[in-house]
Structure 1
């Protein structure tokens, strides 16, 4: 779903969808892999598909606590069935004798000869200890069949799968203790700006604390990247040239913030042109217009560079809708399409000029359906609204927002994985 038609774009800027498609087309997954113990594999990316070593379930077993029996015996023994064995999970049962039943528990193997399980709530034991059934009994009821979920050799997880808790549990259920995963993606971080200082340092006039560095480290860590933090550099072409050369030689992807606009102190584009190639600059989105993408030339393979804007909210938004998907593709993952849901606006606002605007909004759920309301100030340096936002209301360029109309809503929760 395109956020903006070509007719409304500012000339020279890429549509957001096209920018994302170009990035994903340029992503090259890492070829290197390593063996990782299962206990240390959380968040890692499978380098090769995994197939089942065992059928699951490994044997016919009971789906609930109850009594295992032959269905025909209910008709031929109206005086009840004697309970001749007790079968807990992990037990190897004996064959079920004709005209009898077995007390059985959830997950326990079905005794040979039994063809249904009756839930204990529908069973009654008489004074002689014989079991009687209330209601209808069906052949095969409450039995989980061997291989019902998957058989031996079946595909379990594909290459590119991120290993979360359920995936690790699935592997453990197969007795797997180690897996082949892609090597960690090495991402070099560079902050540009003479005005930037690190938190904890006294501010001089005109200086700002570097929030982008902390934010991007926090965004990269859940992606299981190895971060090479090259710190903050001065707003000079020589300093940037040195930093990009260092980053190119030690990382798989380079991310820099700031210096990507068109001012006299913005050196990313000209320096990138010296050291490599600029593929595109400028995306028709607000915030995030100055986003840039290119490659640094290196013997043995070029290194991609993502140039994020210096304003922290613009840096955050461009990472979420553009940068994160690119990094995931470089890890061998299959990035999900942007999740977009129709949500009504609880406010009116003038049209953005030639750019798709991503407004930070909270969802008001007091109505019969969610309504988007502005989370606070929408400036590209205003982090407060970003902290409160449930997502972004995405408004096409040159289209005013009218209260009550529905627009595309991007939940921020989709960027957490």
Structure 2
């Protein structure tokens, strides 16, 4: 069983720690696809239990499988469970403790419960020790003096894992006994609340949507130490490191770690696989010499294009409000809800041709019918009934009078002497339309998220819809960053470059159907950038920046988003354009940090920003259409990155720009689209079929 979401929890058996974030509290972190959310501070066990329940409910609603890890033992050393409950089932111990432990934000009875167990099982001398209260507790000593343990001191997992502590110590430095009791009580309540949805590893088969697993962050001690900077809270760092590492493991790696037989004591997930965990966590290793300008720094993983797109699709939701417009003013707007027909089209049975109507069918052979007086025309109903055996002059679009259900074409008749003559046979209903044949009253004619076209306006009008509820246009700001950038046409000092990105991105947004907002440019100054983003939060609903999305000293976009606690910084397995910073400024403003190179900025905008902005605008996820065409070029592509080549069609074949250099902006103007080469290696020869995405497929 593999998982979509990994949430790791650093537990605490202590009292409420207050509203300010601090160490020795409960911390949690969620990761999906190798990307972690900011760690979550949980001030006490009641807050933590509520948060965990909410997470389980949310993941179930989203249809995702959840792996929940906790840093305390799930079982006691061999023999304890049977002595306490009469059964070797460790989950029986969970239920026993939960039924007896009283626990609140300011106090709990864990020390008293330890003394009760000692009196029952160890003559008051063990297995638990250390009384941390100001009063004496019968059966629980303050120190190890006179201590005698009838059970093993450690589980097999703790004998193997470095730095672990015995579960029998209830207080003092390194104590985990209190964490075990308070933690197991919470987990037992969650098992009962979500009965049938939770499996506990390694005691139960992992065939349910939620798994509880035991973790030990010190398995990744070197990574945690390297990631913990001045002012960082270690507890927060280590749950993030573990969550990221587990979510990056290949399914086969994770399955190997889960394949453990420990039916009574339990086990620590990843124990014995520390190297694989460290690699997944980004442990520092010297990279091989590749002489590749697109190679990533050591310890940084590629994010595949499809994985990045899936995460965007999963996490983004519409942010635009709604308004009601006349149909004539709604072209290009996004429907805020489905639209139903107010009346049928056609509203009545009518004729599809000019001719003569009668009650059919007409048998084979010559026919002659007397003409009734008058005629029926569109918008001019015939006032009367056509007698049986008679015909009536009828024009295209006219409602069928009573006594008419069949029409013969003008071209097939002769008229004279008060009669109309024609040859049969004609089936009943020939050359007529049924009421509602196109659309029936009450039918859904257009779905929510539809971008209205001229044809849609015709359909809406035809079924009587005069006004529609649409989403407000998405306003997207474009901001350039960097001391080296100057506005086109201005004076450029040596080492400076003209801003090609902002005009390009603003124009692309307009073509996409969004409202572009020019936010100008800012120098490499963090305070100025922060102020500009603060201002933008009140003006637009998303921002595209160019430059500053990587991890260098002057990459302030990434740095600011990281400081705000809402950054997903990806190195995309993509050429051109690998750095892409995504974050929420001030918790409300999505920011897409694009590469500074114009070629990479355009490709990332087409592949990532355009569909993501479509979701924000309420249009849904929009895939570009493509065609398979023969290649007019030759290329030996290395595996590992998806590549997009500037290309155009000539004589039905795709030819590519003479240089793949991402600094060759002229190639963007030369091109008419992109050739996409997949993630794997491939040797392309002239005539081989390749995927071509024309720029109009993106709305350009």
* TM-score of the alignment, normalized to the shorter chain, above 0.5: yes
The answer for the alignment partner of 1:416 in structure 2 is 699
- Give 3-state SS (helix, strand or coil) of 2:654's partner: strand
The answer for the alignment partner of 1:393 in structure 2 is 675
Matches within 5 A, 1:13-412: 13-30=302-319, 32-72=321-361, 78-82=367-371, 84-93=373-382, 94-125=384-415, 127-128=416-417, 130-134=419-423, 136-298=425-587, 302-352=588-638, 354-365=640-651, 370-397=652-679, 398-412=681-695
Unaligned ranges ≥5, structure 2: 1-249, 251-294
Query: Which one is further off, 224-233 or 303-312?
Result: 224-233
- Give 3-state SS (helix, strand or coil) of 1:350's partner: strand
Q: Give CA deviations for 1:131-173 in whole Å, capped at 9, x if unaligned.
A: 2224531211121110112222111222211112112222222
- Give 3-state SS (helix, strand or coil) of 1:56's partner: coil
Query: Which one is further off, 372-381 or 330-339?
Result: 372-381
Following TM superposition, by how much is the alpha carbon of 1:53 offset from its aligned partner in structure 2, in angstroms? Answer: 0.8
Q: Give CA deviations for 1:58-92 in whole Å, capped at 9, x if unaligned.
A: 01111122222222466798344436332221111
- Give 3-state SS (helix, strand or coil) of 2:311's partner: helix
Contact 1:347 1:401 in 2 (8 A): yes
Contact 2:366 2:421 in 1 (8 A): no
RMSD: 2.5
Matches of 1:103 and 1:247 in 2, distance apart? 67
Higher helix residue share? 2
Following TM superposition, by how much is the alpha carbon of 1:356 offset from its aligned partner in structure 2, in angstroms? Answer: 1.0
- Give 3-state SS (helix, strand or coil) of 2:325's partner: strand
Following TM superposition, by how much is the alpha carbon of 1:332 offset from its aligned partner in structure 2, in angstroms? Answer: 1.4
Query: Which one is further off, 271-280 or 47-56?
Result: 271-280
Contact 2:478 2:544 in 1 (8 A): yes
- Give 3-state SS (helix, strand or coil) of 1:150's partner: coil
In the superposition, relative to structure 1, how do residues 83 and 372 fare at CA in structure 2: closer, same or farther (>3 Å)?
farther
Matches of 2:361 and 2:452 in 1, distance apart? 47
Matches of 1:311 and 1:330 in 2, distance apart? 25
The answer for the alignment partner of 1:3 in structure 2 is none
The TM-score with structure 1 as length reference comes to: 0.88
Matches of 1:171 and 1:78 in 2, distance apart? 42
Contact 1:77 1:99 in 2 (8 A): no
Bigger Rg over Cα: 2
In the superposition, relative to structure 1, how do residues 344 and 109 fare at CA in structure 2: closer, same or farther (>3 Å)?
same
Q: Give CA deviations for 1:106-153 in whole Å, capped at 9, x if unaligned.
A: 21111211121222222233x425322245312111211101122221
Matches of 1:332 and 1:83 in 2, distance apart? 56
Following TM superposition, by how much is the alpha carbon of 1:196 offset from its aligned partner in structure 2, in angstroms? Answer: 2.2
Unaligned ranges ≥5, structure 1: 1-5
Q: Give CA deviations for 1:233-272 in whole Å, capped at 9, x if unaligned.
A: 1123333222223223433212111121333332221121
Following TM superposition, by how much is the alpha carbon of 1:330 offset from its aligned partner in structure 2, in angstroms? Answer: 0.9
- Give 3-state SS (helix, strand or coil) of 2:533's partner: helix
The TM-score with structure 2 as length reference comes to: 0.54
Following TM superposition, by how much is the alpha carbon of 1:226 offset from its aligned partner in structure 2, in angstroms? Answer: 3.5
In the superposition, relative to structure 1, how do residues 227 and 392 fare at CA in structure 2: closer, same or farther (>3 Å)?
closer
Higher strand residue share? 1
Contact 2:305 2:574 in 1 (8 A): yes
- Give 3-state SS (helix, strand or coil) of 1:166's partner: helix
Query: Which one is further off, 324-333 or 60-69?
Result: 60-69
- Give 3-state SS (helix, strand or coil) of 1:400's partner: strand
- Give 3-state SS (helix, strand or coil) of 1:156's partner: strand
Q: Give CA deviations for 1:18-55 in whole Å, capped at 9, x if unaligned.
A: 11111111112126212223232221111122111111
